[in-house]
Amino acid sequence: MSRRSTRLHALATDERGATLIEFGLISTLLVTTLLGFMDLGHSLYMQSVLQGAVQKSARDATLESGKAEAQQSALDDTVRDKVRHLAANSTVDISRRYFRDFTKAAQATAEPYQDINANGRCDAAEPFQDNNRNTVWDADGGDNGQGGAKDDVVYTVRITYPRLFPIAKLVGLPANVTVEARTVLENQPFGEQGSNGAPIVGNCS
């Protein structure tokens, strides 16, 4: 066997460094998986913190002073501050929907309408039963705002923030994470509960 053949044979049978090559092949998958679990854990942590902040603010909002717009704004700012301490680049959207009782809030039943064009949507000036007399069709049967005495308020906060690790493109995930928390509490009976009056007929937009 020639010297050249001997060297080629030795090179082909040399297993030194094989472990390093194998690790190089699986390291990308391993690191991506670890980052994915860490990203998921961060999202769950954000969900927990957000839910706690929402529940506290919603409890404060049910006090008599929670009816004032200035007080509501202060409560919303408290939620935003807590969220942005964890995710500085987050976008925070806050909404309030009020209902006459807890059952209606929990069921979130749409106002009845005539689906004339059979497309499953309230549109094209189709008539609907405006139970709360706010002139618009409500998919949950509620109305925007804090409401009044004894009304039940669905307080919802939705935050959107960039992912903790830049793995989105590697695994086909969106670049941002959206987390939502909500709670339902009853306004204090600081007065008599208002009445919507008899339902009227409206037209879908």
Q: How confident is the model at residue 2 (pLDDT cuts 50, 70, 90)?
A: low
Q: What pTM value is reported for the model?
A: 0.73
**Residue pLDDT, tens place only, 30-41:** 887 888 888 888
Q: How far is CA 8 from the centre of its chain?
A: 62
DSSP 8-state assignment for residue 22: H
Q: What is the pLDDT of residue 83?
A: 81
Predicted confidence (pLDDT) per residue in 161-199, tens digit:
988 877 777 777 788 999 999 888 777 776 667 677 788
**Using CA atoms in the order 115, 119, 122, 127, what is the torsion angle rounded to 10 degrees?**
-30
Confidence of residue 9 (pLDDT cuts 50, 70, 90): low
* 99: CB partners within 8 A, 6+ apart: 105, 141, 142, 143, 147, 151, 152, 153, 154
Task: Return d(Cα 188, Cα 151) in angstroms, integer.
Answer: 8
By DSSP bridging, strand 200-203 and strand 152-162 are unpaired
Nearest to residue 68, comparing CAs of 145, 157, 183, 133? 145
Beta bridge partners of 177: 161
pLDDT digits 0-9 by tens, 107-151: 889 999 999 999 999 999 999 999 988 999 999 999 998 888 888
Q: Calculate what percentage of the chain has a pLDDT beyond 90.
A: 21
Alpha-carbon dihedral 176, 143, 151, 192, rounded to 10 degrees: 150
Residue 152 backbone zone (phi > 0: left; psi -120 to 50: alpha; other: beta): beta
Say which residue, 147 or 10, is predicted with more confidence.
147
User: Rounded to whole angstroms, how far apart are CA atoms 8 and 21?
Assistant: 20
Mean of all residue pLDDT scores within the chain: 81
Residue 69 has pLDDT above 70, yes or no: yes
* Tally of CA atoms within 13 A in the half-sphere of 166 that contains its CB: 0
Q: Can you tell me the distance from the alpha carbon of 33 to that of 39, in angstroms, rounded to the nearest whole number? A: 10
Q: What is the pLDDT of residue 65?
A: 52
The three state secondary structure string of 37-92 is: HHHHHHHHHHHHHHHHHHHHHHHHHCCHHHHCHHHHHHHHHHHHHHHHHHCCCCEE
Sheet containing 143-144: order of strands: 143-144, 91-99, 152-162, 176-186
